[in-house]
């Protein structure tokens, strides 16, 4: 299967970055796009995120070999329904949603004639919207693809080649396992950041001014994550409920152990954990799991 024409539905951070990355890395491909928000369409056209911004979903997906849905997880079903009547049977329809099980179900139900191959580029920032995208976002990052067992291998290979063309490394995974792994590595960390920033701003004894003034190191990193797109993250937690609750249960137990160690003055328990987690951080950096942000991965970061 050859991909020549790619339609991007949703022209925010991820959709826009795909459009820019295609132009930079796969210049023989044609890109079209559509977004439900007229202001976003105008901004996407002004920035040249895709070759042509359609006025309707039908304009964007007509003759596409690959359609990528780049909308919040909770809007995937609506986006799929909007294109269903306008794609040629056998078109590959993929997505970039941060959770996969609910998206697999929604796309499968809405697009029975398409070849549905859900995917998740594990790359992003706290920013969103059509101004936030950049062409190097996917370089040296993973893209996890979660095809059904009966998906034609030629279509999976074509989608994988597309992502490799944008600079990513592709891994195939079962959707349920994806949701558990990402609950640990992405969803719960975001929940923790949202919680601590909310808690800090609610403390009566510490003023908001002091929180801002003294947020130099660790807390500042949490505020970056806690500035992430509220719509996107609301949808992630609602759609990946089971895996998030399972991991949150384990996390809460571990937090209680630390609470007890602090209360009991048990320095060994604290030191052992902190020593172990420092090793994990160093191995992530040493394995070169770098990203496009210029300061990511600096040993002092
Ligand atoms: N932001 C990240 O770090 C990141 C990383 C990887 C994957 N993702 C996933 O990518 C997807 C998009 O996230 P984003 O960060 O690009 O968000 P974004 O807010 O920057 O862009 C989403 C766009 O989708 C549009 N949209 C919403 N509903 C629509 C619909 N029904 N039809 C057409 N357009 C619609 C919005 O107007 C918006 O422009 C989400 O599913 C998210 O889980 C995000
Ligand atoms: O780097 C960030 O700002 C991100 O939050 C990116 C991040 C992540 O948690 O790693 C966020 C959500 C995605 O689905 C994939 C990537």
Residue-wise pLDDT tens digits, 11-51: 999 999 999 999 999 999 999 999 999 999 999 999 999 99
From atom 3 of ligand 2, which residue's Cα is the shortest distance away?
125
Q: Which residues contact 58 (CB under 8 A, 6 or more apart)?
A: 83, 85, 86
Global pTM?
A: 0.94
Q: Which secondary-structure segment (H or E) carries 261?
A: helix 241-264
Question: ipTM of the predicted structure?
Answer: 0.99
Q: Is 124 in the pocket of ligand 2 (CB under 6 A)?
A: yes
Residue 292 predicted with pLDDT over 80: no
Closest CA to 82 of 102, 105, 104, 55: 55
Give 269 Cα–ligand 1 centroid separation in angstroms. 42
Start-end of H helices in 265-301: 267-286
Q: Where in the chain is the domain with CATH 3.40.50.720?
A: 5-173
Give 132 Cα–ligand 1 centroid separation in angstroms. 11
Q: Is 96 in the pocket of ligand 2 (CB under 6 A)?
A: no
Q: Where in the chain is the domain with CATH 1.10.3660.10?
A: 177-265
Report the alpha-carbon angle 187-109-14, nearest 5.
Answer: 40
Q: Is 237 left (phi over 0), alpha (psi -120 to 50) or beta?
A: alpha
Residue-wise pLDDT tens digits, 235-267: 999 999 999 999 999 999 999 999 999 999 999
CA distance 194 to 201: 11
Position in ligand 1 atom list of the atom nearest CA 129? 20
9-13, 25-29, 87-91, 279-283: segment of lowest average pLDDT: 279-283
Residue-wise pLDDT tens digits, 118-175: 999 999 999 999 999 999 999 999 999 999 999 999 999 999 999 999 999 999 999 9
pLDDT score of 289 = 56
Give 253 Cα–ligand 1 centroid separation in angstroms. 33
From atom 37 of ligand 1, which residue's Cα is the shortest distance away?
37
Residue that is written with structure tokens 């249960």 in the block:
249
Residue-wise pLDDT tens digits, 193-207: 999 999 888 887 777
Give the tokens for residue 8. 């991007």
Domain 177-265: CATH superfamily, name plus number:
6-phosphogluconate dehydrogenase C-terminal like domain (1.10.3660.10)
pLDDT score of 294 = 40
Q: Which CATH class is domain 5-173?
A: alpha beta
Count other Cβ atoms within 10 Å, centred on residue 282: 11
């Amino acid at each position: 299967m050859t991909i020549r024409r790619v339609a991007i539905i949703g022209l925010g951070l991820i959709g826009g970055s795909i459009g820019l990355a295609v132009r930079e890395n796969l210049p023989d491909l044609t890109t079209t796009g559509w977004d439900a928000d007229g202001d976003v369409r105008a901004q996407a056209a002004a920035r040249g995120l895709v070759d042509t911004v359609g006025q309707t979903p039908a304009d964007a997906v007509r003759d596409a070999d690959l359609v990528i849905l780049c909308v919040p997880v909770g809007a995937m079903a609506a986006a799929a329904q909007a294109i269903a009547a306008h794609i040629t049977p056998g078109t590959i329809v993929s997505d970039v949603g941060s959770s996969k099980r609910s998206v697999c179900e929604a796309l499968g139900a809405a697009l029975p004639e398409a070849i549905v191959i859900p995917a998740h580029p594990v790359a992003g920032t706290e920013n969103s919207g059509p101004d936030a995208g950049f062409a190097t976002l996917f370089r040296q990052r993973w893209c996890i693809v979660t095809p059904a067992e009966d998906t034609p291998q030629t279509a999976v290979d074509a989608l994988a080649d597309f992502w490799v063309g944008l600079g990513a490394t592709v891994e195939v995974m079962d959707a349920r396992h994806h949701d558990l792994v990402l609950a640990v590595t992405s969803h719960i960390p975001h929940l923790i950041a949202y919680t601590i920033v909310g808690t800090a701003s609610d403390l009566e004894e510490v003023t908001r001014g002091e929180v801002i003034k003294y947020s130099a190191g660790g807390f500042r990193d949490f505020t970056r994550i806690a500035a992430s797109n509220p719509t996107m993250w609301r949808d992630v937690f609602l759609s990946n409920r089971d895996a998030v609750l399972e991991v949150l249960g384990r996390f809460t137990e571990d937090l209680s152990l630390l609470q007890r160690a602090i209360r009991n003055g048990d320095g060994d328990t604290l030191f052992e954990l902190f020593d172990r987690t420092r090793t994990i951080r160093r191995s992530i950096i040493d394995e070169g799991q770098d990203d496009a942000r210029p300061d990511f991965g600096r040993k002092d970061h």
